[in-house]
Amino acid sequence: MPLFQKLSDLKNEDFASPWANDGKSRLYTENLSLSIHGNRILKNISVELPCNKITCIVGPSGCGKSTLLKTFNRLIDMTEGVKISGNVFLGNENIVKAGFDDLTEIRRRIGLVPQRPCPLPMSIYGNIAYGCKIHGVRKRRELNRIVVKYLNEVGLWNEVKNRLRSPAVGLSIGQQQRLCLARSLAVEPEYILADEATSALDPQSSKIVEDLFVRLKEKYSIVMVTHTLHQAMRIADYVIFIYMGEIIETGTADEVFHHPKHELTKNYLSGVFS
Residue 35 per-residue DSSP state:
E
Strands (E), the chain: 27-36, 39-49, 54-58, 82-90, 93-94, 110-113, 191-195, 221-225, 238-243, 246-252
The nearest distance, CB 270 to other proteins, in angstroms, is: 34
Select 106 or 222, whichever has its Cβ closest to other proteins.
106
CA distance 147 to 166: 14
Instruction: Determine the distance from the C-alpha atom of residue 14 to the mean position of all C-alpha atoms in its chain, rounded to a whole number.
Output: 24
SS3 52: coil
Select 191 or 257, whichever has its Cβ closest to other proteins.
191
Select 51 or 75, whichever has its Cβ closest to other proteins.
75
Select 186 or 240, whichever has its Cβ closest to other proteins.
186
Contact 26, 91 (CB under 8 A): yes
Select 167 or 251, whichever has its Cβ closest to other proteins.
167
Amino acid at 245: G
Give the footprint of other proteins on this chain (CB under 8 A). 73, 75, 78, 80, 100, 103-108, 111-112, 114, 116, 118-123, 130-131, 134-135, 167-169, 180, 183-184, 187
Q: At what angle do helices 173-185 and 124-134 cross, to 10 degrees?
A: 20
